[in-house]
Structure 1
């Protein structure tokens, strides 16, 4: 009997060691969104987002709920060419139309009194973080998809990016691809999510897009409003994703 209890104790210690090793694994999705490897999906460990919503203060109805520790991420998401003319590239262009206007990848929120030290596409992530930290009290939405600080930091952590990474057009598109995935792009394309629901999810991420009420999901918050109508948004989505 004593030998049995000793054996059980040994097994328990082994299991504890195994769990401890598993918990010590890095949780950032390093490389998973930047690879062309097959199969279509790779098993990836990710951090639950620290920022509940792209827009601070609106976490109540946020798209971003705590995510599972491990999810299946499409391996090609980050590897999509940043000049992709397919549906995903067209969707990014539609979002950019609502968010950044003509300045595109070098857009900085118009309410920022102190601009970064150079065009965003010439700066590293570290330089953008320094601009954010050195200029409190002003808007800091930046780039083609108008990433705000909490979202930018969360995506950078989740992708395991180094701070000397250039905030290039390609990198901005990869960050946007991750937001599209979180909005349910893969479910929409597979038919698990209908177009209206997907569009409403996108509106929860980008304030320039309308939801099905015709207004921004963040209408009136920090001056946000939709920059296109629901009719236009729906028509463009129908064109990009026919059927």
Structure 2
């Protein structure tokens, strides 16, 4: 089977997969891939087909892979393409099968201009439940007929599926496929980028975290300061126009990107270097130094107090320190201060070490 996928089809499939399965080619329905004995991309087509009924019982659906192939779809494509079933359902195979699905839904006709954007969009919605219909659509006939609103999933109402992408974004992607190639702009025109919906932002945030852009912060569906910082870093690392907007080029790049690498100078950064870059590391270091400044004299005083109590001259110097609580021996107070200072040193040292480690490994940027 020829696994060559034209660039336009590959771009559309990457867009579809980013909506259907943002965690990639090993995804199974409900993001239950961690429960599999081995990664999906290490399984053969026959193994995935055989596991389908079990996944449906356990996870709620047999949908698998970057494009969420249903068991029935794999069975049909296996027969149509005359596959043996021993082929791995790896990334290239998933993209090749996805290309076949696009062709079945009229991709070639759409690109040639003989099928409208709305009609092709309906085909995509019929194939991938997370995609919306682009115009009000009547589904079914007779008494069973129902009208779907623009933006609804073709399978809305089944209790399992809903549209996860706005119709405007689908239309923009389809228009982009047919637009003539243009020289890339040096800077992203953020104003021209359609504001992403919350679900899209959440997927982007999770993908950035998975790739090592931990400065993204939490996955909350909001493009705040931390998320914007992570987006700018990702765009710079992947040769995209500068900016903090989420556009289709970035969504495509997220699907192809490899985990962020840590530069040697960062991985081996000395603590004093990290202190200048990470505020909390410096704060822990200052607390540690303060603990030493207070703790060492207090500990020394505690050791000396008992032995010096009977020396009149020494007593005259030390007694003012303990006169507030005359019932408690002075060495006890000093020992307490030393203990608190020692605890502060230990906690601060631990925090400083963890901060340095987080910076070196990229967990803190």
Contact 2:44–2:85 (CA under 8 A) maintained in structure 1:
yes
CA deviations on 1:62-101 (whole Å, 9 max, x unpaired) are: xxxxxxxxxxxxxxxx422xxx6x2111100111122111
RMSD value, Cα: 2.0
Residue in 2 aligned with 1:208? 130
Q: Which protein has the larger Cα radius of gyration, Structure 1 or Structure 2? A: 2
CA deviations on 1:120-164 (whole Å, 9 max, x unpaired) are: 111111221232244552311000110111111111111111121
Deviation at 1:220, TM superposition (A): 2.3
Residue in 2 aligned with 1:118? 38
TM-score, length-scaled by structure 1: 0.62
Residue in 1 aligned with 2:4? 79
2:65 is aligned, of 120, 128, 143, to: 143
How many aligned positions are there?
163
Q: Which structure ranks higher in relative contact order (CA pairs < 8 Å, sequence separation ≥ 6)? A: 1
Task: Mark the runs of 5 or more structure 1 residues left unpaired by the alignment.
Answer: 1-30, 35-77
Structure 2 counterpart SS, 1:96: helix
TM-score, length-scaled by structure 2: 0.42
Q: Runs of 4 or more off by more than 3 Å in structure 1?
A: 111-116, 133-136
Residue in 1 aligned with 2:162? 225
Residue in 2 aligned with 1:12? none
Contact 1:98–1:228 (CA under 8 A) maintained in structure 2:
yes
Contact 2:153–2:162 (CA under 8 A) maintained in structure 1:
yes
- Structure-2 separation of matches of 1:184 and 1:199: 10
Residue in 2 aligned with 1:89? 10
Residue in 1 aligned with 2:97? 175
Task: Mark the runs of 5 or more structure 2 residues left unpaired by the alignment.
Answer: 135-149, 181-365
- Structure-1 separation of matches of 2:32 and 2:156: 20
Contact 1:87–1:240 (CA under 8 A) maintained in structure 2:
yes
Contact 1:116–1:131 (CA under 8 A) maintained in structure 2:
no
